[in-house]
Structure 1
Amino acid sequence: MPDPQTQFTAAVALHQAGDLSAAEPVYRRVLADVPHHLDAMYLLGTLQLQQGEFVAAVELLSQVCAAQPHVAAAHNNLGIAYKAQGQFEQAIGCLNRALKQDANYAEAYFNLGQIYEEQQQWPLAEECFVQHLALAPEDIESRVRLGFALTQQEKSAEAALAFEEVVRLQPDYAEIHSNLSYVYERLGRLRDAVAAAQKAVVLRPDYAEGHNNLGNALRSSHQLNAACAAFDRALKIQPDFPMAWFNLATTQMLAGDLAAGWEGFESREAIMPAPPQTFLQPRWRGESLAGKSLLVHADEGFGDTLQFARFLAPAQAASGARIILHCQRGLGDLLRGTAGVAEVIVEGDFVPMTDAHISLLSLPGVLGVTGDTLPAAVPYLSVDQVESQFDDIIDATQLSVGLVWQGNPAQPRDLVRSCPLSEMGPLIETDGTQFISLQVGAAGLQQLAAVDWRERVLDAGSGLTDFSQTAALINRLDLVITVDTAVAHLAGALGADVWTLLSHTPDWRWQLERSDSPWYPSMRLFRQRDWGDWPSVIGEVTAELSNVVQKRLS
């Protein structure tokens, strides 16, 4: 029998040759002869890690780390074993100990970055991949992951630089050309976005995601027919592609063809971050439910619920059912009494069993709504004219204007649709006006605190606790000026005068070009002509507001 050192050398040779099954028993014979042979323990633990035997690997590598805490590689491999079992905190601790022993241990930075990716801790992931690339600047995978972490933080310019370096190193990397298209579109570099996506699908004609991103870039360039063709191509390649179905549908509706879009609009549930609700009762498909009950659930944003509440009365007429509306808590008081609704329950309430169910946003598709049959009569929402806490702050000698500049930051397109309050200075200086903020949420209120002219804007928004209060205040104002957020829908549903400020390529419901809305007769639309150009929008709105003030005074 060879001595332990000779056996160890043979095991290492087998291991290095990739013959793991042959190396393992030799390592075990070494450990049978020398139980505390730390090198054999380390390499056997590493071999078990390679074989996917993570529990056994943790046991051995933990012993090595305890006996030799200065060995960075052992901490790194133990971290990988913990990560493979989903034990992220233990893995992070191990990898940080590896880096404490060796601050230039590139692999540990990479492994730590992967864990932060899985935890969606994007700033930490970014930091790790930056550190890794400082030590391994030619590593393509690390640069790809850095670009992704930057993209998730809306650092699109930096993400573009990362992805551009990847395609410099590997020009035929189709997926990264597609990623570049995505970030170029976010930056408003629309020609570059189209060109990058076209490059991706030339390199990989069967790449459905590339065709989908090409469609997005073409849509943002207002080439809607070409965009639909790109989405169609993606779906021919990959019929089970919910995002492409959704993009095709919303592009059709952006073009004004509601009827064509409703079917694909149903794919929205498959692309939501949280899994959709499940129900025991059947989905309503338009049949009579006379004498029965129908649960209508609002499962998207506040603005969606306010916009689609118009379909509750037609749904009740078509079904004959007793409709129970399940909606967001902040909307419950406002929506009680809505035509067609027998009962309103809110998030957290007991949900009764009904004969059928349907999503609120699915109603127009079931009802067969087209652009010609869209219910547009307003108001379809109302609020009791109760004594308002804001009555004594409205100056009747001025034109009272409600103002909203910031949507929900969690919304994927919020960076595009929200207008920085700092851009609105010329508007706020309009003579004869009193601006009253309807803005809620920390992101918007922080902007108000930061502008020099904040004293010109009365902050009512921080005192608003639900939409019924906001509605009561809107009814006391002369005008609402808002970006594309829930307040636009609320003001429109109340029949209030509202001016909505739109990005270059807005959400599908606002279509393109037109200055009015088929959804809200009392609404005017002010659009960016170029990507991100809020100053021109504010200039147009300011001029129009001055005209309104002058007409009022004359």
Structure 2
Amino acid sequence: MPASSEQRLLAALQAHAHAPENVDRLVEICNALIHVRRNEQMLPWADKGLALEPTHCGLLYARAHALRLLGRHAEAAASWRAHRSLAWPPLYCETRLGRDLYLSGEIASAIELLSEAVRTAGDSEERDAQKARKWLAEALLATGDPAGFTHWLARNRGDSGSYRYAEAPMWNGQRDLRGERVLVTHQMGYGDQFLLYASLRHWLDAGATVMFTCDPPIHGLLQASWPDCTVVPTERPLAVATTLPPEALAAARAFAPTLQATLLHLPLLTQHDSTPPTPFFPAYLRAPEDARARAATWAQALRARRPGKRLAGLFWDCAQHRVASNGSKERCWAGLRSVPLAQIERLTLDPALAREVEFVSLHHPAAEMQSGTPRGAISHYGPGIATFADTAACLEQLDAVISVDAALANLGAMSGKPTAVLANPTGEWRWGHAATSGARSPWMTGVTVLRQTEMGDWRDVISQATGWLLAPGPGA
């Protein structure tokens, strides 16, 4: 963090000490905390300011923003509701209230409010209009409604970087793709790519010849999984309509596409089918042959050392929350999705589980050095985890997977393994919503969602995971 940013925060704190009743000094502290990427620490300062000036819009925003980062979505929603009558910019309050209603579980109210915000926005490209579309999309998708993918596509104009290959027109919704050569460009994170690239099957079945791009760390896995496609590794786009990097651009020109689509377009091909695909995202991932051979040899030896035991992969910590340079949203949300080591050891040290299950860490060694290693019945993948191809090869030899809400959960599901996802009360849309889909995902099979009832309390989730592993289903 630049010294000047910390100095700005120090100066703001010193100014407040000299004038504790000055609201402007408290606003300066909140702004300085945003500048040093410690937004979640704004809450006490916003509360102090609001005690002095209860309708200060800047401090109301700071308070609600900090509450959301801390996972206190119901309180954030209540704050927006209580102050809707203030002079907010158009859609500003509605979008944030709708988002926090969705994240707090009031999904029907969120969809109603965000739908009205989207209707009001029309074709507006303003930031809050884009936010309204994004959160309406995710609320709809959480209920299993594929109409959400239409709204999600608006992220191509907003908060998701994307590539634009100017030499081919963008796909306009046509269903008959016979004779078409389609370039699909990637975006978003590993988990999104693992999930949405499952829709490539529908594009191939519609007659398309496909080339697609992906992040380099998952290239080997995706090429092995889609041998009939050309797969090009390239950096992830960070801005809207970015030009392809030189090597990827040369590969695209050699492929000579007649159409381009982005990752976000892929689910739209079957969105309006009278009978939607079941599951919407079928399992498809397959590790490269050399990695599979190494994994099979390793698994055979481990099973010989642990006769009669089932092998269960275990992923418990999202490393992003340990990186100080990450933004507050990335750090805080990763922290809310991670399970403390002491809770994980309730699985690995459980005597009943130890008689039946050998856990296998699915963490990259460098990440596990940061998160710590649980004691008890846990092994490590002998060939080593260096790439996602290695992880997928290991997964193929396991009987079940337990993962927090991370790319590993998507990898397990899209590899066709029985997968238990340990999720906080908000979770991600792909795991559904407790009120509409219970412990199942509306989008994929073989997934059991074990949800917290209270943010931060993993005790009941770990108890459910123990029962899931001891039940006759998972990997039996």
Q: Secondary structure at the match of 1:198?
A: helix
1:438 counterpart = 2:362: yes
User: How far did residue 267 of structure 1 move?
Assistant: 2.2
CA 1:369–1:232 in structure 2 vs 1: closer, same or farther (change >3 Å)?
Answer: closer
CA 1:188–1:436 in structure 2 vs 1: closer, same or farther (change >3 Å)?
Answer: same
Q: Which amino acid in structure 2 is aligned with residue 387 of structure 1? A: R
1:211 counterpart = 2:86: no
Report the counterpart of residue 298 of structure 2 in structure 1: 390
> Could you give the per-residue CA deviations for residues 11-68 of structure 1, whole angstroms, max 9, x where no partner exists?
xxxxxxxxxxxxxxxxxxxxxxxxxxxxxxxxxxxxxxxxxxxxxxxxxxxxxxxxxx
1:381 counterpart = 2:285: yes
**Do the aligned partners of 2:40 and 2:65 also contact (CA within 8 Å) in 1?**
no
Report the counterpart of residue 512 of structure 1 in structure 2: 433
Aligned residues: 429
User: How far did residue 205 of structure 1 move?
Assistant: 5.8
Q: How does 1:55-454 map to 2 (within 5 A)?
A: 112=4, 116=5, 125-150=8-33, 158-204=41-87, 206-235=89-118, 238=121, 239=124, 240=126, 241-259=129-147, 261-272=148-159, 275-280=161-166, 281-287=168-174, 288-318=176-206, 320-339=207-226, 341-347=228-234, 349-351=247-249, 352-353=252-253, 354-368=257-271, 373-376=276-279, 378-383=282-287, 384=289, 385-388=292-295, 390-391=298-299, 392-394=301-303, 395-409=306-320, 412=330, 413-430=333-350, 431-432=354-355, 433-440=357-364, 442-449=366-373, 453-454=374-375
In 1, Cα distance between equivalents of 2:44 and 2:275: 47
**Do the aligned partners of 1:181 and 1:195 also contact (CA within 8 Å) in 2?**
no
CA 1:400–1:278 in structure 2 vs 1: closer, same or farther (change >3 Å)?
Answer: same
In 1, Cα distance between equivalents of 2:274 and 2:429: 13
**Do the aligned partners of 1:405 and 1:444 also contact (CA within 8 Å) in 2?**
no
Structure with the bigger RCO (C-alpha within 8 Å, sep 6+) is 2
In 2, Cα distance between equivalents of 1:458 and 1:474: 13
In 1, Cα distance between equivalents of 2:446 and 2:75: 38
Q: Secondary structure at the match of 2:401?
A: strand
> Could you give the per-residue CA deviations for residues 193-242 of structure 1, whole angstroms, max 9, x where no partner exists?
22211233122265522222211221122111211233245446654321
In 2, Cα distance between equivalents of 1:335 and 1:272: 25
In 2, Cα distance between equivalents of 1:408 and 1:283: 36
Q: Which amino acid in structure 2 is aligned with residue 170 of structure 1? A: E
CA 1:550–1:368 in structure 2 vs 1: closer, same or farther (change >3 Å)?
Answer: closer
> Could you give the per-residue CA deviations for residues 233-275 of structure 1, whole angstroms, max 9, x where no partner exists?
544665432111101111111122122x1221012234437x5
> Could you give the per-residue CA deviations for residues 324-373 of structure 1, whole angstroms, max 9, x where no partner exists?
01111122111125458421111164331322211122211243257951
In 1, Cα distance between equivalents of 2:382 and 2:62: 38
Report the counterpart of residue 244 of structure 2 in structure 1: none
Comparing 234-243 with 213-222, greater Cα deviation is found at: 234-243
In 2, Cα distance between equivalents of 1:393 and 1:147: 53
Q: Secondary structure at the match of 2:83?
A: helix
In 1, Cα distance between equivalents of 2:395 and 2:420: 13
In 2, Cα distance between equivalents of 1:263 and 1:448: 41
User: How far did residue 291 of structure 1 move?
Assistant: 3.2
**Do the aligned partners of 1:406 and 1:483 also contact (CA within 8 Å) in 2?**
yes
Report the counterpart of residue 42 of structure 1 in structure 2: none
Q: Which amino acid in structure 2 is aligned with residue 447 of structure 1? A: S
User: How far did residue 481 of structure 1 move?
Assistant: 0.5
Instruction: Flag the structure with larger Rg.
Output: 1
**Do the aligned partners of 1:286 and 1:367 also contact (CA within 8 Å) in 2?**
no
User: How far did residue 323 of structure 1 move?
Assistant: 0.5
Identity %: 24
Q: Which amino acid in structure 2 is aligned with residue 360 of structure 1? A: L
CA 1:191–1:356 in structure 2 vs 1: closer, same or farther (change >3 Å)?
Answer: closer
Q: Secondary structure at the match of 2:460?
A: helix
Report the counterpart of residue 243 of structure 2 in structure 1: none
Report the counterpart of residue 482 of structure 1 in structure 2: 403
In 1, Cα distance between equivalents of 2:269 and 2:473: 44
Select the structure that is richer in helix.
Answer: 1
In 2, Cα distance between equivalents of 1:179 and 1:369: 41
**Do the aligned partners of 2:162 and 2:186 also contact (CA within 8 Å) in 1?**
no
**Do the aligned partners of 2:170 and 2:260 also contact (CA within 8 Å) in 1?**
yes
Report the counterpart of residue 545 of structure 1 in structure 2: 469
Q: Secondary structure at the match of 1:520?
A: coil
Q: Which amino acid in structure 2 is aligned with residue 311 of structure 1? A: S
In 1, Cα distance between equivalents of 2:18 and 2:157: 40
User: How far did residue 143 of structure 1 move?
Assistant: 2.1
CA 1:143–1:525 in structure 2 vs 1: closer, same or farther (change >3 Å)?
Answer: same
1:492 counterpart = 2:413: yes
TM-score by length of 2: 0.80
CA 1:138–1:356 in structure 2 vs 1: closer, same or farther (change >3 Å)?
Answer: farther
Q: Which amino acid in structure 2 is aligned with residue 276 of structure 1? A: S
Structure 1 residue runs of 5 or longer lacking an equivalent are: 1-87, 93-111, 117-122
Comparing 397-406 with 366-375, greater Cα deviation is found at: 366-375
In 2, Cα distance between equivalents of 1:467 and 1:152: 34
**Do the aligned partners of 2:316 and 2:338 also contact (CA within 8 Å) in 1?**
yes
> Could you give the per-residue CA deviations for residues 432-465 of structure 1, whole angstroms, max 9, x where no partner exists?
222211012755531225xxx4364334399312
**Do the aligned partners of 1:249 and 1:264 also contact (CA within 8 Å) in 2?**
yes
**Do the aligned partners of 2:425 and 2:451 also contact (CA within 8 Å) in 1?**
yes
CA 1:550–1:475 in structure 2 vs 1: closer, same or farther (change >3 Å)?
Answer: closer
CA 1:149–1:481 in structure 2 vs 1: closer, same or farther (change >3 Å)?
Answer: farther
In 2, Cα distance between equivalents of 1:447 and 1:172: 42
